[in-house]
Every structure is written in C-alpha cells, then in structure tokens.
Amino acid sequence: MGKFIKTIKNDLWILLCDVIFVNASYFLALVIRFYVDKQFYIPIGHYLNSYYHFIPFYTVFCIVIFYVFRLYNGIWRYAGINDMNRIITASLITAAFHVLGTMLFFERMPITYYVIGAVVQFFLITFIRFIYRFMTVEKKAMGKDLSNALVVGSDEKLMFVIRLLQSGVSFRPACIVGIDDQLTNKTIDGLPVYGVDQITYAINKHSIKCVFLAEPDLVAELREKIKSTCDSNGIELRDYSSYLTYEGDSDQMSGKENIIERQNSIDKDGKRKIPFSPPDISELEIGEVVEALRSGWITTGPRTKLLERRLAAYIETGKVDYDTESDQNRWSDRVVCLNSATAAEELNLRVLGIGPGDEVIVPAYTYTASASAVVHVGAKPIFVDIQKDGDPISHIPEMDYKKVEKAITERTKAIVTVDIGGLVCDYERVYEIVEKKKKLFHPIESDGNPLGDLSSRIQKSIGRIAIVADCAHGLGASRTFRGKKTYTGAIADFTSFSFHAVKNFTTAEGGASTWLPIEGVDNSEIYKMYQLLSLHGQNKDALAKTKAGAWEYDIIGPWYKCNMTDIMAAIGLRQLDRYQGLLDRRAQMMMKYDKVCDELGLFHMIHHTSDMDSSNHLYLVRIPGIDTDKRNEIIEKMAVQGVMTNVHYKPMIMMTAYKNMGWDIKDFPNTYDYYRNLITLPLHTLLSDEDVDYVCETLREVVESLT
C-alpha cells in the first residue's frame, strides 16, 4: 500500500487526467450514441442513471488496473512497444469489466456504447502518456544542436550505426549512401538512400556535418574517395567499419573480434554472468602491441609521443582521426602520458608549486586518489560536502559551491573538481568563486631551482587559486563553457585523466596530464618539467639518448618514476581509433537503464543535458527509502542472479586514513545520504543488448521484491 501511495503521489497529475478521461469516455459514448438530429433520444436519461451509479466503481477499478500494469511512475516517457502493449492489455481488461459490471449489477447498455467508450478511453489514456515524449524527449532533442550525419554501408551493420545515432547526443541520421545498388532511391527507417556516386550531392542536400562508415568490406578505392570528399568539404569522418555485430542484435563496439572471451555470456551451468567492468580489448590493440614488441622499443618512445599528440587533438577538436602528423609542432608538448591518473594529479600539483603549508579543497564524494595526491605533495586536503542530492539537473554528486567559497583561506592554492561518472562539473561557477576570492591568493616566490622557478611563474601568471580537474572518468566529455562546447582537458587549469583497465579508454594502467596555455610560460617548458618529474629528474629520456654521441645526461632533481611505456601507448592508440564508437554504444545502453529506473522510480544521474555531454562512464542509481543494509542486500541478490554491481563511492571520510586526520562523516550529511542507497550498474562495451535487458529485468525483480 505504501508503494501504491508513493507512486500515485509522484504521478498525481496523470492520475487526475485518467479519472477525467475514464468518466468522459463513456459519457461521450452516450452522447454520440443518442444525440441525433440536434437532439437526444428519450432513452438517454434512463442510461445516464445507470452510468452515474456505475462510473465511480469503474473509475476505481481502472486506476487499480493501470497501476498493476505499470501505467504510472514514468512509463510514458519512452513510448516503446512494451508501453503500448501494457496500455492495450489494461484497456481490454477495463472494457471487459465495464461490460460485465453494467450487465450484472445495473442493466445492459447498447453495444455501440461499449465500443465507443472503450475506443475513446484507449485513445485518451494513450494520448496523455505518449504526449509526454513529445513534451520532453523530442522537445529536448529539438532544442539541442544536433548535426546531420550520413551513414555509408549495407545490411545490419548499417542499421546498427543508425540506431547508435538515433540514441546519441551529437548527430542525427539524415540520409544513407548504400553500397548495394539495389538500395538506391529507396528509404531505410525513413531515411533516403543514395548511390555511392551521389555522395557529394547527399552531403550538400542534407547539410551533412559527419560521415559514418559502417561497411567493413568497403574497397580501398571507395574508402579513399569518401575520405577525400569529406576532406574537401571540411566534414568529419568516423570509421565504424571495424566494429562487429554479434548474434544479430547483440551489438558490440569492439573492433574486430574481441580477444577476451565473452565473460558476460551463459556459463557452464546455464546461468548468465554479467561482470562489472572488464576491459574491451580487440585484435586491433593486440596487433599494435605485438608491433611495439617487435620494434624493439617498449619503454617511452615514438608511440607514447604519438598518443600524446593525438590526445591533444582529441581534447581540442573531439575528433579521434585528426591528422596530427602533418603539423606536429601544433600538437606536441600539450599532453604528457604517465603511468597512472594518480601520478598525473600529483605532478599537476607539483608543477603548480603546491606543498607543505598549502590547502587544497577536495569534494568529500570521490575516490581517494583525488585527495591522496594532495597528501603526497605535503599539502592539506580540505573536504567539502556535496549539494543535497547532487546537481539539480544532472544529479552528479557535485560540491556545494557555497561551502567551497566559505572554505577558501589565504592558504588555499587549488580546488580539485571531480567529474564523477564522466559528467562535467559546473566549471563556470568554480571560476567565478576563485575570481571572487582572488585577493586572498598569494603566489609563491622562486626558490632558485628549476621546478620552484617554474611554479612561481605559473602561480603569478594565473594569479588566483588554481582549478585542478580530476577527470579520471571523463575523457571525451564536454560542456558548454564560456559560450561554446568545450571538451574536458580544455576547461580546468590543469587536468588529469585515467586510462586504467576499467575506464572507457584504457592502456591497461596509465593516465595523462594536460593544462591550459599560461601567459608568459611556454608549453614546451611545462612539458619538459613533467618529463623530468616522471623520469628521475633525468634531462634526457631513453629515446633522446639513442642519438649518436648523446649518451651523457644530467639529473636535475631527485624526482620520480612514473612514465608511460610504448607498450601501454600501443593499446591507447588503437583504443582511440575506436573510442567514439565505444562512447556511442554506452549511450545506447544507458537509454535502457534510464527507462527501467524511471519506471521503478529510482534516482539516477542524467548524463546528457542541454549544455553537457557525459563520457558515459558510470551508471549510478539511488534507491529511495532504503539504508545501507538494504542496499547491500540488493547488491548480493543481484550477484546471486549473476549481475555484478558496485558502489561509487564509499565516502573517503569514512576511511581509516582520513578519519585519522580528524575528519568525521557526520559533518558531511549530503555525502553520506547520497552514498547510503547507491549502487552502480555494469556499463561496458562487452555487454550485448540481451545482457543489458537481463540487468534491467534483474534490477526490477530485486528492487520490487525488497522495497
């Protein structure tokens, strides 16, 4: 009963519409049946009396049936075939009840009355639910700046890419170029199909901004023609042709055949097993690693440098296939690849000159690396609670910015922002705060050493508290920043990325640092300092020492060892080739999670808004009305069913290391409240459509059994 009351309370407006429609439908049926030649037949009064006595019982019955068939609690948002089936079934049951109820307890009404009433009721209750799609989903899509895309391909792979675009956030499919001549001048899924010789015409006619290749057997000559056409028209080209479709509708964005045997398949006992986050490694990555091994260069070398340049271009343009080698100077010295995101964050702080006596503000809701890097450099982490239930639009567990502002002192040197799950923080708000508190900031003076001198010049040039982004989850995410779409890595003063095995983009282990241009300080000087800090302070790396007579080197400082190897970079190069497809596939899967969570009334993050596109890394779900014990029970029950889940994150303040520093979770009520009923669903590109459906079914079954 409590759950029924909660559902009705949440959807009171739709329930009131149902009450009105149920009553109006059969009243209108009487009017239509008996109103002829601008007057009513005399029997209508007799039937109206039966209608008035029966309709209250019928209305209550309808509301109960609609609830049983889940026509409340957000079901109408997606307007899918399952939603329509539920509405049809509920309508048939209520129509049958109306016939039996009037005949058994009142009197038999005219057959036309029953038919007209049932039809009108069906259309009205369907209309009010499906109109929500137009009012929210479609309206949002129309308000978003979506660009037209052209898809080249044939058969099911063509449809796969079209489905991805239809569920994506940046492009809409506008037309198709069919490899098969039999498709020419036809339509597929409502999209016009052109021949390969009409590609330029199609691009101009439909104002195409991006071409997607969805054909693995495309001949080299045609592939080159398409690439040339895109280049000459300034159009982006995304090659999805290496992605496979498994078992018909079990879609994988996994390069060529995936090397990892499908861990999320049926096990030997016939039970489905869904791992939480295995790496997506294909033959492409394997082949590149083999080539790296055969090259004889396996530590930091040419592949690492190439990956750095390509990441720099991706961060600026959002394109994974940008030609960085025709202008290497433009893309060099802008990103440095390291062996972990933690190392990247620590080096960010060291380059900024942050150390003993300094304070760094850190959100209480994050992973330990966000704070441990602060401790490593000798500074003090100052934890700040998050907003109640997170950001009001995206629900990301974002810092309470009023508390951030109050936490700033003359010792504050940086604010660590965390883009949890791939959602992007409100950086404009953070910049407003640090500008407002500019007078409290006092830059350090040079200590005469290379690092100290560089740090002093950086602090003086920035002239305020630095914004340091922990973007471990966020490669490829973007937000409207200062009036234009900007990718993570180009928003905060300094940014760290993670390429750990569980991330969207992986190099097994690994990470990277990047920074915004700093007036008066060359990028090459900053890049060189990262190289020194990550290679023992040695002023020549192994690649530089291979030059004739260049064996001699110097140790500038007794620093650290955290460089990336070419073996790791080899994985990253091929991951980057596939990355946009991986992000699109994640977005497609999240739509199913959104739907089931809305149906169940669960609280989840919104990964794509009018001004922000997530990298779709984590799917966090909060279950109202439960505590940590009940949450853990749900996790256990889902595991029994073969679905591995997680929690992101247990607040650091609850960990021994930070409790020993004097922090108490009682001082962070919003952080604890966000955590106590949270679970993270599996979200990775080895999941098939059937796997995602199974996760949804299991979540529904377990939540409904425990709440």
Q: Is pLDDT of 44 > 80? A: no
Query: Are 67 and 214 within one domain?
Result: no
List the beta bridge partners of residue 485.
Answer: 480
List the beta bridge partners of residue 609.
Answer: 612
Domain presence at residue 545: no
Backbone angles phi, psi at 532, to 5 degrees: -65, -45
Query: In angstroms, what CA-CA distances link 248 with 165, 251, 439, 479, 682?
Result: 18, 8, 62, 35, 22
From 97, 125, 142, give the residue that closes a domain. Answer: 142
Q: Name the residue with higher pLDDT: 233 or 512.
A: 512
From 123, 142, 161, give the residue that closes a domain. Answer: 142
pLDDT at position 530, please? 98
Cα(528)–Cα(539) distance, integer angstroms: 8
pLDDT at position 361, please? 98
pLDDT above 70 coverage of the chain, percent: 86
Query: Are 104 and 172 within one domain?
Result: no
CATH (domain of 687): 3.90.1150.10
Query: pLDDT tens across 453-464, in order?
Result: 999 999 999 999
Contacts 24+ apart (CB under 8 A), 297-300: 297/543, 297/566, 298/565, 298/566, 298/567, 299/542, 299/563, 299/565, 299/566, 300/535, 300/541, 300/542, 300/543, 300/563, 300/564, 300/565, 300/566
Residue (of 652, 643, 195) closest to 386 by Cα position:
652
Q: Is pLDDT of 134 > 90? A: no
Domain presence at residue 310: no
Residue (of 124, 127, 147) closest to 135 by Cα position:
127
Q: Is pLDDT of 99 > 60? A: yes
Q: Provide the token pair at 84.
A: 């329509």
Query: Are 77 and 187 within one domain?
Result: no
Q: Which of 154-163, 164-173, 215-224 has the highest mean pLDDT?
A: 215-224
Characterize the bridge pairing of strands 484-487 and 494-498: unpaired
On average, the pLDDT of the chain sits at 87
Query: Are 217 and 354 within one domain?
Result: no
Peptide bond into 240 cis (omega under 30): no
Banded model confidence at residue 187, pLDDT cuts 50, 70, 90: confident
Characterize 68-89 residue by residue with b for buried, 16 or more Cβ atoms within 10 angstroms of its Cβ, and e for exposed. ebbbbbbbbbbbeeebeebbee
Query: Are 82 and 221 within one domain?
Result: no
pLDDT at position 342, please? 98
List the beta bridge partners of residue 208.
Answer: 148
Query: pLDDT tens across 347-400, in order?
Result: 999 999 999 999 999 999 999 999 999 999 999 999 999 999 999 999 999 999
Cα(88)–Cα(40) distance, integer angstroms: 32
Query: pLDDT tens across 188-226, in order?
Result: 877 899 988 899 999 999 999 999 988 877 888 888 889
Between helix 44-68 and helix 81-105 the angle, nearest 10°, is 140
Query: pLDDT tens across 583-630, in order?
Result: 989 998 999 999 999 888 899 999 999 899 999 999 999 999 899 999
Domain presence at residue 256: no
End-to-end C-alpha distance for the chain, whole angstroms: 11
Query: Are 658 and 699 within one domain?
Result: yes
Q: Is pLDDT of 77 > 60? A: no
Q: Provide the token pair at 97.
A: 């009840």
CB-neighbour burial class of residue 270 (10 A; exposed 0-12, middle 13-18, buried 19+)? exposed
Residue pair 566/300 in contact (Cβ under 8 Å)? The answer is yes
Query: Are 156 and 214 within one domain?
Result: yes
How many domains are contained in the chain?
4
Cα(90)–Cα(93) distance, integer angstroms: 5
pLDDT at position 565, please? 97
Cα(497)–Cα(513) distance, integer angstroms: 6
Q: What is the average per-residue pLDDT within 309-320?
A: 96
Under 8 Å CB-to-CB from 58, ≥6 apart: which residues?
22, 26, 94, 97, 98, 101
Banded model confidence at residue 4, pLDDT cuts 50, 70, 90: low
Domain presence at residue 274: no
Domain presence at residue 666: yes
Helix or strand run (H / E) with residue 171:
strand 171-178
Domain presence at residue 313: no
pTM: 0.76
Domain that holds residue 231: 144-241
Q: What is the average per-residue pLDDT within 228-237?
A: 89
Q: Is pLDDT of 139 > 90? A: no
Question: Range with the lowest mean pLDDT among 137-146, 212-221, 511-520, 634-643?
Answer: 137-146
CATH (domain of 211): 3.40.50.720
Query: Are 525 and 646 within one domain?
Result: no
Domain presence at residue 156: yes
Query: Are 384 and 526 within one domain?
Result: yes
Query: In angstroms, what CA-CA distances link 326 with 49, 101, 310, 546?
Result: 85, 79, 12, 24
Query: Are 122 and 150 within one domain?
Result: no
Query: Are 93 and 229 within one domain?
Result: no
Under 8 Å CB-to-CB from 262, ≥6 apart: which residues?
686
List the beta bridge partners of residue 469.
Answer: 417, 495
Backbone angles phi, psi at 499, to 5 degrees: -120, 30
Query: pLDDT tens across 520-576, in order?
Result: 999 999 999 999 999 999 987 766 656 656 678 899 999 999 999 999 999 999 999
Question: Range with the lowest mean pLDDT among 111-115, 267-271, 574-578?
Answer: 267-271
Query: Are 354 and 460 within one domain?
Result: yes
CATH (domain of 484): 3.40.640.10
From 110, 142, 174, give the residue that closes a domain. Answer: 142
Domain presence at residue 564: no
pLDDT at position 132, please? 58
